[in-house]
C-alpha cells in the first residue's frame, strides 16, 4: 500500500482546540455587543461566481482564488464578506431596509504567507445597508468601541477619517486625480514607515531595509509640501483636528460628516483618547467612498489593524444597477486572537472539559456514565475515561488535557455513597507552595470526599473559583 504523505497546502493550517476555544470566547463577546445593536446573522457560500468577486482594486483582485468548476463556470473562493453581502442585497429585493447583519465565516486570499498571516482565516463583519446617514457610520464605530471594551482591552485606539477629505487633499495639492488611490496608499503608511519614507515614496522613491527599490510617485515638490502640511496637521482631539483641516481645505462634505460623527460619539460619552480623527487613515480597498475607520491595540502595535472598515456606497450598484449606500467593519479574528494571547487576555484552555470521571472499577461503567449524565444535565462538561491504564495514568491524562477536576470512585466510595473529588488546579498551586513532597502527599491538598447527592454543588463551587 502506498503511504500518502500527510501535509497541508502552503498558507493553510490545522487549528486545535486551544485556539478554537480562544476564538469562540472572543467571538461570543463581540457577538453579544453586535446583537445589542440590532444586527442579525447571515451566512453565504464559500464559492461565488468569479464576476461577483470584483471591486477590490487591481492588486487585491490578484489575490482571489479562481478556477473553473466541472461545468466550466468561472468561480472563486470569497475574498472577503462584503462582495457576497452586496450580491445578497441585489438578489433578494424584498429585504427590509436598513438591512443590518453580522457574518462570521472563513475567507481566502492568495497572499504571501507569513508569521500570523494565512491564506484562509476567519472574518467577523457587521454592516448596515440602505441608509446614507453617517449616524450609521458612527454606530459602527461605537459598536467597535464597545466590542473592544467587552474583550477587556484597555489599550486601544480607533482612528477615523473620510475618503472625501483625502479627495479634497488631491484637489488642494494639485495632484492628478488618476494618482489619488496611489497617494492614499502611501499616506496610509505614515505610522508604519515614518514621515521621511512617505515623503520619499511621494517623490522619487526610496530603498527599503532589504535593499529593494521602491518606486516613487514623482510628485512635484509643491505637491509633496501640500501633502506634508496636511498629514502634519495638529489633532490633539477630534475638534482640533476638524478645525485644523478646515483651515487648509475649507468646509467640505467630508469634514461635515466627521463633525456629525463626532457629535454622536460625544453624546455617547465615548472617550476622545480612544476614538480619534487621523487624516492619514485611508484603508486599502478601492471601493470606500466616505468615512473609514480602523482599530489598533496600542499595547500590541505590531499586529496592526485588528478591526477596520468604512462606507462603500457604490459597490452594491455593480450588482443592483443602482447605488445602494452601505457601511460596515470587519475583524480579522485570527489576528485579534494572537494579539490578545500576546497581551495575556485570553486564557487559552486546551479544551472545554470540566470534569474527568476516572474508572477504577471496570464493571461499574454504567454507574460512572449515570453520574456523568447527571453532571451534563447540570451544564458540567464531563468525560468518562475510556482508555487503558490505572488511576495514575488516568490522572496524568487529566493533567495533560488540563482538565481542572477529576472524580475518583472506587469500591469503598460506591459502598459509602461518596465521590473523591480531586481539584487538580489546587494541586498545582500547592505544589508550588509546599516544597517538601512528603508533606504535600500527607496534606492531600485539593482532594476530599463528597456525598454523591451533593456532587453537583461541590463541582460548581470549585469551577466558580477558577
Q: In angstroms, what CA-CA distances link 53 with 41, 64, 65, 118?
A: 21, 8, 10, 19
Residue at grid coordinates 486545535? 16
| 339 within 8 A of 352, measured Cβ to Cβ | no
Take residue 445 and report the three cell numbers written for it. Answer: 491538598
The values of phi and psi at residue 230, to 5°, are -65, -50
- Spell out where 172-318 has E strands: 205-207, 213-215, 275-277, 291-297, 305-311
| 126 within 8 A of 140, measured Cβ to Cβ | yes
Q: How far apart are CA 135 and CA 262, in angstroms?
A: 10
Q: How far apart are CA 367 and CA 416, in angstroms?
A: 14
Point out the annotated binding site: 80-82, 109, 123, 127, 283, 287-288
| 60 within 8 A of 185, measured Cβ to Cβ | no
Task: Decide the pairing of beta strands 275-277 and 66-68.
Answer: unpaired
| 106 within 8 A of 313, measured Cβ to Cβ | no
| 102 within 8 A of 27, measured Cβ to Cβ | no
Q: How far apart are CA 151 and CA 174, in angstroms?
A: 44
| 33 within 8 A of 150, measured Cβ to Cβ | yes
Exposure class string for 285-302: b at 16+ Cβ within 10 A, else e: bbbbbbbbbbbbbeebee
Please report, to the nearest 10 degrees, the dihedral formed by the alpha carbons of residues 434, 440, 442, 445 taken in order: 100
| 116 within 8 A of 268, measured Cβ to Cβ | no
Point out the annotated binding site for L-histidine: 80-82, 109, 123, 127, 283, 287-288
| 282 within 8 A of 290, measured Cβ to Cβ | no
User: Any idea what the Cα angle at residue 389 is, between residues 458 and 402, rounded to 5°?
Assistant: 45
Amino acid at each position: 500500500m502506498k503511504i500518502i504523505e500527510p501535509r497541508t497546502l502552503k498558507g493553510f493550517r490545522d487549528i486545535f482546540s486551544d485556539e478554537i476555544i480562544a476564538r469562540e470566547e472572543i467571538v461570543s463577546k463581540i457577538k453579544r455587543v453586535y446583537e445589542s445593536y440590532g444586527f442579525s446573522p447571515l451566512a453565504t457560500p464559500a464559492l461565488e461566481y468569479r464576476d461577483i468577486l470584483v471591486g477590490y482594486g487591481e492588486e487585491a483582485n490578484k489575490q482571489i482564488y479562481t478556477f473553473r468548476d466541472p461545468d466550466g463556470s468561472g468561480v472563486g473562493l470569497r475574498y472577503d464578506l462584503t462582495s457576497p453581502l452586496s450580491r445578497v442585497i441585489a438578489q433578494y429585493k424584498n429585504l427590509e431596509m436598513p438591512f443590518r447583519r453580522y457574518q462570521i465565516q472563513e475567507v481566502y486570499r492568495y497572499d504571501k504567507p507569513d508569521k500570523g498571516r494565512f491564506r484562509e482565516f476567519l472574518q467577523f463583519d457587521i454592516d448596515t445597508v440602505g441608509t446614507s446617514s453617517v449616524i450609521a457610520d458612527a454606530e459602527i464605530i461605537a459598536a467597535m468601541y464597545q466590542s473592544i471594551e467587552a474583550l477587556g482591552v484597555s489599550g486601544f485606539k480607533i482612528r477615523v477619517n473620510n475618503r472625501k477629505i483625502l479627495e479634497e487633499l488631491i484637489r488642494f495639492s494639485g495632484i492628478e486625480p488618476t494618482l489619488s488611490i496611489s497617494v492614499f496608499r502611501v499616506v496610509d503608511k505614515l505610522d508604519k514607515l515614518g514621515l521621511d519614507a512617505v515623503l520619499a515614496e511621494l517623490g522619487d522613491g526610496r530603498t527599503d531595509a532589504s535593499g529593494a527599490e521602491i518606486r516613487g510617485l514623482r510628485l512635484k515638490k509643491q505637491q509633496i509640501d501640500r501633502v506634508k502640511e496636511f498629514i502634519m496637521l495638529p489633532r490633539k482631539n477630534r475638534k482640533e483636528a476638524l478645525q485644523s483641516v478646515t483651515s487648509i481645505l475649507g468646509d467640505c462634505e467630508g469634514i461635515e460628516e466627521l463633525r456629525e460623527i463626532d457629535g454622536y460619539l460625544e453624546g455617547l460619552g465615548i472617550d476622545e483618547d480612544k476614538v480619534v480623527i487621523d487624516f492619514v487613515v485611508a484603508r486599502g480597498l478601492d471601493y470606500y467612498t466616505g468615512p473609514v475607520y480602523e482599530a489598533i491595540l496600542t499595547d500590541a502595535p505590531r499586529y496592526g489593524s485588528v478591526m477596520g472598515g468604512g462606507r462603500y456606497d457604490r459597490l452594491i450598484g455593480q450588482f443592483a444597477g443602482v447605488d445602494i449606500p452601505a457601511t460596515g467593519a470587519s475583524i480579522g479574528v485570527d489576528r485579534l486572537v494572537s494579539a490578545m494571547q500576546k497581551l495575556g487576555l485570553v486564557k487559552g484552555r486546551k479544551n472545554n472539559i470540566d470534569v474527568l470521571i476516572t474508572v477504577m472499577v471496570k464493571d461499574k461503567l454504567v454507574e460512572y456514565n449515570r453520574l456523568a449524565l447527571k453532571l451534563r444535565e447540570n451544564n458540567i462538561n464531563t468525560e468518562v475515561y475510556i482508555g487503558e491504564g490505572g488511576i495514575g495514568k488516568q490522572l496524568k491524562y487529566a493533567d495533560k488535557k488540563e482538565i481542572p477536576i477529576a472524580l475518583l470512585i472506587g469500591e469503598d466510595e460506591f459502598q459509602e455513597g461518596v465521590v473523591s473529588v480531586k481539584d487538580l488546579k489546587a494541586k498545582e498551586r500547592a505544589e508550588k507552595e509546599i516544597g517538601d513532597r512528603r508533606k504535600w502527599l500527607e496534606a492531600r491538598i485539593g482532594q476530599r470526599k463528597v456525598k454523591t447527592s451533593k456532587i453537583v454543588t461541590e463541582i460548581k463551587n470549585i469551577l466558580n473559583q477558577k
